[in-house]
Amino acid sequence: MSEEVKKVESAATGGVETQHMVPPCPNGFLYTVQSGDTMYFIAQRFGVSLEALIAANPQVADPNLIYPGQVLCIPAKPSPASCPNGFIYIVQPGDTLNGIASMFGTTVEQILAANPQITNPNLIYPGQRICIPIMPPMHHRRHCFMMHPTHHCPGAMGMGMIDIEKRELLVVARDLPDPRHFGMDHIALMVRYHEMEKFKVVEMMPMAHGMMMCHHMMDGAMGGDPVFLIGAARRFPFFFGPLFLGVVFPIII
């Protein structure tokens, strides 16, 4: 056999051996080529670019020629650069997103929202870095506010609280003028939760020591800062006269 033929056979044998090499894959995972696979379809399946897949497998001399049983490195997709509202978790063998979500008290949807690089929630691999969002504890949301007097009642005072979760409103006021001074017969609270809606009118009930109170259950969701006014009213139907108290912006606690 001539030296030229030996060199050609040696080169061909070396190419086949190179194709059979198991490539290093420090930041990804190994995949065994199945019948009908192409580099393009494998890249699509695992959500990586074709260029990144080819670059991670330099042992593949011709990207258009792969065969069943060949081992390829699937490179890791970009990990989150930061996780300001949580922490980075490194996926362990056997992990699933459901299991990780249960482990850390969050949901798969929250994890996916924090990790846009995960395109297939059923496909995560050991060594992958994912951001675990920390779910803030749920606190009751309450708005407290102070009501200020108008020139109709310079000595009056008022305050109130809204419990968002219970949809409950409580308002207390003191030193309000007698409604009969204004030709009315009741004191009422005007409530508006949305900018364009009409005011709801709720009667204030007398308490001891010149105080009046209104307890009201909200029948709709709040929109922005609500508006509260207290004034003299005539019943059936309610008709408002001069307003006694205005309102300042609520303070969330």
Last residue of a domain, one of 48, 74, 100: 74
Kindly state whether residues 205 and 227 are assigned to the same domain. yes
Q: Which domain holds residue 32?
A: 3-74
Q: Rounded distance, CA 129 to CA 132, Å?
A: 10
- Structure tokens that stand for 169 in this block: 């409103």
Distance CA 75, CA 55 (A): 9
Indicate if 17 and 57 belong to the same structural domain. Answer: yes
The one-digit pLDDT tens for each residue of the chain (253 residues) are 555 444 434 433 444 555 567 888 877 788 999 999 999 999 888 878 888 889 889 999 999 999 999 999 988 766 565 787 788 898 888 999 999 998 888 889 989 988 887 878 888 877 788 899 886 655 557 778 888 888 888 889 899 888 877 888 899 999 999 899 888 999 999 888 777 778 888 999 998 888 999 998 877 666 666 788 999 998 877 888 888 887 655 554 4
Residues 23 and 125 in one domain: no
* Residue 218 covered by a domain: yes
The rounded distance, in Å, linking the Cα atoms of 161 and 252 is 10
Number of structural domains the chain divides into = 3
CATH (domain of 98): 3.10.350.10
- The model's pLDDT over 214-247, given as tens digits with 9 standing for 90+, comes to 998 877 666 666 788 999 998 877 888 888 887 6
Helix, strand, or coil here: 103?
A: helix
Tell if the pTM clears 0.85, that is, is over it.
Answer: no
User: Is 197 found in the same domain as 152?
Assistant: yes
C-alpha 141/C-alpha 162 separation (Å) is: 8
User: Residue 19 and residue 11: Cα distance in Å, rounded?
Assistant: 12
Residue 80: inside a domain = no
Q: Which of 252, 229, 224 is nearest to 240 (CA)?
A: 229
Which residues face 234 on adjacent strands? 239
Confirm whether 79 is domain-assigned: no
Could you tell me if 55 and 100 lie in one domain? no
Task: Considering only CA atoms, give the Rg of the chain.
Answer: 35
Among 23, 22, 29, smallest CA distance to 127 is for 29
Neighbours of 52 (CB within 10 A): 17
Mark whether 119 and 152 lie in a shared domain: no
Residue 229 counted as domain residue: yes
For residues 54 and 117, state if they share a domain: no
In terms of domains, do 173 and 216 share one? yes
Specify the DSSP class assigned to residue 224: S
Domain assignment of residue 228, yes or no? yes
Same domain, 201 and 174: yes
Domain boundary among 133, 153, 172: 133
Yes or no: say if 117 and 77 are a contact pair by the CB < 8 Å rule.
yes
> How far is CA 173 from its chain centroid?
39
Q: Is residue 64 part of a domain?
A: yes
The reply to whether 100 and 162 lie within a common domain is: no
CATH for 195: 2.60.40
Distance CA 23, CA 210 (A): 85
- The dihedrals phi and psi of 190, each to the nearest 5 degrees, come to -100, 130
**Amino acid, res. 185:** D
Q: With respect to residue 222, please indicate whether it lies within any of the assigned structural domains.
A: yes
In a domain, 246, yes or no: yes
Same domain, 154 and 202: yes
